[in-house]
A and B are shown apart, each in its own frame.
Chain A
Amino acid sequence: MSTTTERVRLAAAAVAVLLAGCAASQRNDASVIAPATTYDFGRPATPIELARFFSPLPDGRGLPKGSGTVAQGKRLYEAQCLACHGDNLQGGLGDRLIGGRGTLVNGDPTKAPVKTVESYWPYATTLFDYIKRAMPLTAPDSLSDDEVYALCAYILSRADVIAADATMDARSLAAVRMPNRDGFIPDPRPENFPPVSQTQHRK
């Protein structure tokens, strides 16, 4: 690399000598000398600084310590979530959280599939991540890790995904198999559309 840099520098100097008549253009030519491969701006990020961030992966890496039960989650839900998500988790200002299994297969143009945590979400770790970072709407990132585990436990229990006496922690949450785990496929686009003549028409 240094040889290349040296060549560029020599070439730039040669160009400067050949073409430049004045000091100003020599300064300009000096600027074309190859830049450093790293600039080293900014500062190292320390583990302490990074500790405030969390981003669990579906296999559980990145989930914090702590735990919570369904019963703890029920109390928290009623205090923190019920106003927007409903006393039966049926939704309101916030999304519906449970129900909807069996509605995703749906060719009915008048009836929408019911997409909930129970029917649609493929990973339980996403539930922890989203509640922790974004809920409640007016006080995001205000719940402790134990509280978030408890809310995950309550919602997953009400969704009949885990038992009513379950405890959620990093290990058990990552082990939850969501009903729609296999419901996602890769992007098939660009698609090969049929000719317009072979499609339905509306005028």
Chain B
Amino acid sequence: MSSHHDTQDGPGSPPRDARRRFIGRGLGLAGAAASLPFAARAAAPPGAVERPVPADPAKVPGYPLEDESYGARSQFETEVRQRYKTATPLSSWTFTPLQDSLGIVTPSGLFFERSHAGTAVIDPRRHTLFVHGLVARPRKYAMRDLKRFPSISRLLFLECSGNGLTEWSKPTMPTVQGTHGLTSTAEWTGVPLSTILNEVGVRSNAKWLLAEGDDAAAMTRSIPIEKAMKDCILAYGQNGEALRPEQGYPLRLLVPGYEGNMNIKWLRRLEISDAPFMTREETSKYTDIRPDGKAVQFSFEMEAKSVITAPSGGMSIEPGFHEITGIAWSGRGTIRRVDVSVDGGSTWREAALQQPALPICHTRFRIPWQWDGRGTPVLQSRCVDDTGYVQPTLGQIIALRGLNGPIGSVYHLNAIQSWQVASDGKVTNVHHY
């Protein structure tokens, strides 16, 4: 290492001869890469960059730091959102890969999507939020206006009320991504909606607030004014940066604990009224029809629910030690307890909850398990929130709501999930209640 003393090599620079080798090697690789077919070069998973892999990463310099960059994940990490194959990809949804989830925060690139007319592309410099109706002072806000207000940040889960809709009558989706992947958690930043409502002066006869999106569906939902004043957020931030386009960039409404579709994306308008607007999404969709023909309307809250994310459907395990882990959440409050069963609900053990367990937020639970390789264990989790609500079995839900057709009530399925481990260690989605 004589070049260690060479003044031309500053601290952190590779020795000159090593650098010469690196350049030569780099050129050689560039040439090799150029000769590779396009498909091979594009082999990196979405969100990653394919890079040459040295035999020993300690023997060659890594790739240089860029002056300006936006980070990419490792080329070895392959989990992706998966779209449910609806007739059109304009009105569709994608599932978060919960089987690979760690902790409670969902990476923005893996946050589930549900859009009714594609992902809108909006220039924030031209975006305006109008607030009008039963107010003293109708106003409009540019994004720069909204960002001047005192802001708050809060970790909140969002769940589509259709999460698990395929699972009412029989186990259908093979993995937890398909059975439960329409829930995600992010840290959201924005303005309390109550701040804006105070600005415009809501009239005393106001009862409801219409939120409208600036997408091609002009998605609309009516929200009770009490909820709007209580804890809703006009969010422009997600996980420390601006919202992702598919999450409503530049502005979305957050209605903590309420079904996902009410958290209107690409928010452009709030109209205050004395009655609900009875939009398509709160009458013909997102209502829960029962066998007697009556449909439950304005079923806002996402009730307490939990699921084991590992081991889970599609995995294969060996006898020996396993940490059983998963997530629990409640739209009504904080998860107080999660019990885990490995015998299909005959006996339960209390799992450890990762702290802090936050209200209306994914809560990670974990419990050690030693599988002796015998039998076919059925793994289940059951949560309790701070209202005392206990996550029901599918049998309990069906006893009250019935099964109306092969899909059932469609929305608001929060039953205990079962994963069965076969004698060969393969884990599958089963009904066991």
The minimal Cβ–Cβ distance linking A45 to chain B, given in whole angstroms, is 4
What is the bound-complex CA distance between A190 and B332, given in angstroms? 10
Q: Does B395 lie within 8 Å of A202, measured CB to CB?
A: yes
- Residue A2 lies at the interface, judged by CB distance under 8 Å to chain B: no
Q: Does A39 lie within 8 Å of B199, measured CB to CB?
A: yes
Interface centre among A38, A186, A189, A200 (most CB of B within 10 A): A189
Q: Chain B contacts of A198 at CB under 8 A?
A: 399
- Residue A164 lies at the interface, judged by CB distance under 8 Å to chain B: no
- Residue B300 lies at the interface, judged by CB distance under 8 Å to chain A: yes
A199 to B, closest residue via Cβ: B395
Q: Does A193 lie within 8 Å of B279, measured CB to CB?
A: no
Q: Does A50 lie within 8 Å of B431, measured CB to CB?
A: no
Q: Does B297 lie within 8 Å of A186, measured CB to CB?
A: yes
Q: Does A199 lie within 8 Å of B289, measured CB to CB?
A: no
- Residue A123 lies at the interface, judged by CB distance under 8 Å to chain B: yes
What is the bound-complex CA distance between A123 and B216, given in angstroms? 22
Q: Which of these, B216, B291, B303, B406, contacts A140 with CB under 8 Å?
A: B216
B385 to A, closest residue via Cβ: A190
Q: Chain B contacts of A112 at CB under 8 A?
A: 404-407
What is the bound-complex CA distance between A78 and B184, given in angstroms? 42
Q: Does B299 lie within 8 Å of A126, measured CB to CB?
A: no
Q: Chain A contacts of B398 at CB under 8 A?
A: 199-200
Q: Could you mark each residue 170-203 of chain A with 1 if its beta carbon is under 8 Å from any beta carbon of chain B, else 0? A: 0000000000000111111111011010111111
Which of B38-46, B235-243, B280-288, B354-362 lies at the interface? Answer: B280-288
The minimal Cβ–Cβ distance linking B4 to chain A, given in whole angstroms, is 44
What is the bound-complex CA distance between A35 and B387, given in angstroms? 35
- Residue B277 lies at the interface, judged by CB distance under 8 Å to chain A: yes
Q: Chain A contacts of B294 at CB under 8 A?
A: 183-185
Q: Does B283 lie within 8 Å of A202, measured CB to CB?
A: no
The verdict on A39 contacting B149 (CB below 8 Å), with A50-B132, A112-B407, A133-B218 known, is yes
A47 to B, closest residue via Cβ: B138
B291 to A, closest residue via Cβ: A107
Q: Does B399 lie within 8 Å of A108, measured CB to CB?
A: no
Q: Which of these, B140, B146, B275, B283, contacts A49 with CB under 8 Å?
A: B140
Q: Which of these, B297, B303, B396, B400, contacts A185 with CB under 8 Å?
A: B297
Q: Does B292 lie within 8 Å of A140, measured CB to CB?
A: no
Interface size class of A (residues with CB under 8 A): 35 or more
Q: Does B275 lie within 8 Å of A44, measured CB to CB?
A: no
Q: Does A37 lie within 8 Å of B198, measured CB to CB?
A: yes
Q: Chain A contacts of B273 at CB under 8 A?
A: 55, 57
Q: Could you mark each residue 135-178 of chain A with 1 if its beta carbon is under 8 Å from any beta carbon of chain B, else 0? A: 00100110000000000000000000000000000000000000
Interface size class of B (residues with CB under 8 A): 35 or more
Q: Does A113 lie within 8 Å of B397, measured CB to CB?
A: no
What is the bound-complex CA distance between A138 and B117, given in angstroms? 9
Q: Chain A contacts of B130 at CB under 8 A?
A: 45, 49-50, 53
A111 to B, closest residue via Cβ: B405
- Residue B71 lies at the interface, judged by CB distance under 8 Å to chain A: no
What is the bound-complex CA distance between A53 and B212, given in angstroms? 10
B196 to A, closest residue via Cβ: A42
A134 to B, closest residue via Cβ: B217
What is the bound-complex CA distance between A125 and B216, given in angstroms? 20
Which of A9-17, A21-29, A68-76, A114-122 lies at the interface? Answer: A114-122
What is the bound-complex CA distance between A39 and B137, given in angstroms? 13
Q: Does B278 lie within 8 Å of A105, measured CB to CB?
A: no
- Residue B68 lies at the interface, judged by CB distance under 8 Å to chain A: no
What is the bound-complex CA distance between A56 and B273, given in angstroms? 11
What is the bound-complex CA distance between A44 and B397, given in angstroms? 49
The verdict on A45 contacting B132 (CB below 8 Å), with A55-B210, A185-B297, A190-B387 known, is yes
What is the bound-complex CA distance between A140 and B91, given in angstroms? 14
Q: Chain A contacts of B397 at CB under 8 A?
A: 193
The verdict on A109 contacting B400 (CB below 8 Å), with A38-B198, A187-B299 known, is no
Q: Does B141 lie within 8 Å of A187, measured CB to CB?
A: no
Q: Does B395 lie within 8 Å of A189, measured CB to CB?
A: no
What is the bound-complex CA distance between A184 and B116, given in angstroms? 24
Q: Chain A contacts of B220 at CB under 8 A?
A: 55, 129, 133
Q: Chain A contacts of B212 at CB under 8 A?
A: 53, 55
Q: Chain A contacts of B377 at CB under 8 A?
A: none
The minimal Cβ–Cβ distance linking A117 to chain B, given in whole angstroms, is 8
The verdict on A121 contacting B283 (CB below 8 Å), with A113-B405, A184-B294, A198-B399 known, is yes
- Residue B301 lies at the interface, judged by CB distance under 8 Å to chain A: yes
The verdict on A42 contacting B142 (CB below 8 Å), with A55-B210, A190-B303 known, is yes
Q: Chain A contacts of B300 at CB under 8 A?
A: 187
What is the bound-complex CA distance between A181 and B431, given in angstroms? 36
- Residue B169 lies at the interface, judged by CB distance under 8 Å to chain A: yes
What is the bound-complex CA distance between A142 and B403, given in angstroms? 40
The verdict on A184 contacting B148 (CB below 8 Å), with A57-B275, A201-B433 known, is no
What is the bound-complex CA distance between A127 and B208, given in angstroms? 20
B271 to A, closest residue via Cβ: A55
Q: Does B432 lie within 8 Å of A104, measured CB to CB?
A: no
User: Can you report 29 residue pairs joining A to B where beta carbons are below 8 Å apart?
Assistant: A35-B150, A38-B198, A42-B145, A42-B199, A44-B139, A45-B131, A45-B139, A49-B140, A50-B132, A55-B210, A107-B402, A107-B403, A112-B404, A113-B289, A113-B293, A113-B405, A122-B283, A133-B220, A140-B217, A141-B218, A185-B295, A187-B299, A189-B412, A190-B387, A193-B396, A199-B393, A200-B395, A200-B398, A201-B395
Other A-B pairs, 17, CB within 8 Å; known A106-B404, A120-B284, A184-B297: A43-B139, A45-B140, A53-B271, A57-B278, A59-B275, A104-B293, A107-B402, A107-B403, A120-B283, A121-B284, A133-B220, A137-B88, A185-B297, A187-B296, A199-B399, A201-B395, A202-B394
